[in-house]
Amino acid sequence: MYNASDLRKNLKIQIDGDPYVITEFQFVKPGKGQSLYRCKLRNMINGNQFERTFRSVDTFQTADLQEKKMQYLYPEGNKYCFMDLETYEQVYLTEEQLGDAKNFLIDSLEVEILFFGDTPLGITLPNFVELTVTRADPWVKGDTAAGNSKPVTVETGYQLLAPPFVEEGEKIRIDTRTGDYVTRVKN
């Protein structure tokens, strides 16, 4: 149970049976008046947003959220299948729920899946993944006109900028939070 004074940005609460995350928060209090808590909330299941002003007498249920370690298995239509490493139970996330994460999903990748009860809501990737470059223009030594970076494509189809010396077949490390090239990985 939360009180209104516990409300803050990113807090997850339950309203009418659904989990909500507070996306914007402002504490408002007229000098002599009562405390008001102006919130923007996003429904974590359907993404709907709304604004509401709460008062100090309001209380909230905590959202029954839990993160589980799971392994990525395979895509199926526009869904992606993951398996619980302890129970072997499988769940599916939609492309929408994955967002940018689908750019970094390779076989057997271990990820954290966020659940509300039994409903999977979203995914947290490891901060870094190592992916094989499947397409890159060849590097001509001494060609300074080409600049400091060039577009390369990795095994998931994701395209990013990498230094000119990165070649096809090599592995590179990518920061999943920014989607940027970090370094070349020697086999």
Partner 1 sequence: MIHVPAIMSPVSKIKDRDSARNKDNLLIRAMIIRGIRQFFIDRDYLEVETPIRIPAPAPETYIDAVPSDGWFLHTSPELCMKRLLAAGYSKIFQITKCFRDKERGKHHLPEFTILEWYKTGIDYWEIMNECEDLFLFISHYLGMGEIIRYRDMKIDLRKPWIKISVRDAFECYSPLSLEKAMEDNRFDEMVACHIEPHLVCEKPVFLYDYPVSLGALARSKKDDPTVAERFEIYMGGLELANAFSELTDVDEQRARFTEERAHRHELGQTTYPMPQIFLDALHDMPDSAGIALGIDRMIMIFTGTDTIDDVVTFTPEKL
Which residues of the chain form contacts with partner 1 (CB under 8 A)?
Answer: 5, 26-36, 38, 53, 55, 57
How far apart are the C-alpha atoms of 160 and 186, rounded to whole Å? 19
Q: How far is the CB of 37 from partner 1 (least distance, A)?
A: 9
Residue 163, Cα to own-chain centre: how many angstroms?
26
Q: How far is the CB of 53 from partner 1 (least distance, A)?
A: 6
| Closer residue to partner 1 in complex, CB, 53/159 | 53
| Closer residue to partner 1 in complex, CB, 24/155 | 24
Q: How far is the CB of 20 from partner 1 (least distance, A)?
A: 20
Q: What is the DSSP string of 92-140?
A: EEEHHHHGGGGGG--TT-EEEEEEETTEEEEEE--SEEEEEEEEEPPP-
| Closer residue to partner 1 in complex, CB, 57/145 | 57
